[in-house]
């Protein structure tokens, strides 16, 4: 497993990260425990959750599974999206973040969060208030580093400029929607991150499963799969995308690899990407994702794959 710096931070994270939005729900505690143990054995040290995943149950499950192993992982969680009906049970205000971090710490059974991410931009709170609140959490030892998720490039740039001006801790990472068929972040976010050494962390690397090859042109989605009902996955089921997918699968096969591995490795070949967050519900998914961490595309190989996508 390769490890990369988390942007400007001194900490290093595995290039394959683990998304846990199904932990405490579809994945019960026994399986969460087994997955965490296997992840550590495979060298995966970056674990991503959020306070809203399974209404807090993901954090609870991780808290149990990480007992005695907490120092072996870089643990990330998020806050901002509403966790209740109250007018202040959301956002990135000092008021809410101080409550949210305490609840996450309790559920995770830890005294600190390694990477505390703002789950989305909060237009109702001044950036100055958010950055000062986060700086105070770091000073208090409750948070090690801070990051963003689903921000626009200008929002991240302005926030970090404010932090620099006031000598406060900056955002070291941005987690965003990025995969072979979703490349909007290449226009502004990736160039910004590359220029300013902010780590970019793609999520949904497999396009909800479309980039596994399990969905076949002209055939119904497999029973029980996300594509059966998910408008997100179904949106990728076009003739144009199937044409590209066929070429990508053939390219991967020619190189002795799977499309799953190629989807991760292509992302890891992009500028500023430090780790790819891949969700899972089974140990088999974890092992398949981890294999991609041992395959680093050359510049020429990455260019060949991009040419297929651009065709």
Chain segment 220-233, per-residue pLDDT in tens:
888 888 888 899 99
| 247-279: pLDDT as tens digits | 999 999 999 999 999 999 999 999 999 999 999
Q: Look at residue 183 and tell me whether its pLDDT is greater than 90.
A: yes
Dist CA 57 CA 162 (whole Å): 34
Dist CA 144 CA 125 (whole Å): 22
Active site residue 53: yes
Dist CA 83 CA 73 (whole Å): 26
Q: Look at residue 206 and tell me whether its pLDDT is greater than 90.
A: yes
CATH topology of domain 3-215+259-298: TIM Barrel (3.20.20)
**% of the chain exceeding 70 in pLDDT:** 100
Q: Look at residue 38 and tell me whether its pLDDT is greater than 90.
A: yes
List the catalytic residue out of 53, 116, 151, 215: 53
- Short-list 217, 281, 211, CA closest to 34: 281
């Amino acid at each position: 497993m390769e490890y990369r710096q988390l942007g400007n931070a001194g900490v290093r994270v595995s290039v394959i990260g683990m998304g846990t939005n199904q932990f405490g729900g579809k994945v019960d505690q026994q399986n969460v425990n087994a997955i965490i143990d296997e992840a550590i054995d495979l060298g995966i040290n970056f674990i991503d959750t959020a306070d809203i995943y399974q209404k807090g149950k993901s954090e609870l499950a991780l808290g149990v599974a990480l007992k005695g192993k907490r120092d072996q992982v870089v643990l990330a969680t998020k806050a901002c999206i509403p966790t209740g009906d109250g007018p202040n049970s959301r956002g990135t205000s000092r008021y809410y973040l101080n409550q949210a971090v305490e609840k996450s710490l309790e559920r995770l059974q830890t005294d600190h969060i390694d990477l505390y991410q703002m789950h989305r931009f909060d237009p109702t709170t001044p950036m100055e208030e958010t950055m000062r609140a986060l700086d105070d959490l770091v000073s208090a030892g409750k948070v090690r580093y801070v990051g963003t998720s689903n921000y626009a490039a200008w929002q991240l740039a302005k926030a970090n400029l404010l932090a620099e001006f006031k000598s406060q801790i900056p955002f070291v990472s941005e987690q965003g929607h990025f995969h072979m068929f979703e490349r909007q972040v290449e226009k502004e976010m990736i160039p910004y991150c590359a220029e300013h050494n902010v780590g970019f962390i793609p999520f949904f690397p497999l396009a909800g499963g479309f980039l596994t090859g399990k969905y076949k042109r002209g055939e119904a989605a497999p029973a029980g799969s996300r594509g059966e009902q998910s408008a997100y996955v179904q949106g990728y089921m076009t003739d144009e995308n199937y044409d590209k997918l066929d070429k990508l699968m053939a390219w991967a096969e020619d190189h002795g690899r799977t499309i799953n591995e190629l989807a991760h490795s292509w992302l890891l070949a992009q500028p500023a990407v430090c780790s790819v967050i891949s969700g899972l519900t089974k140990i088999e998914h974890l092992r398949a994702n981890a294999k991609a961490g041992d395959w680093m595309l050359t510049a020429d190989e990455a260019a060949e794959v991009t040419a297929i996508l651009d065709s």
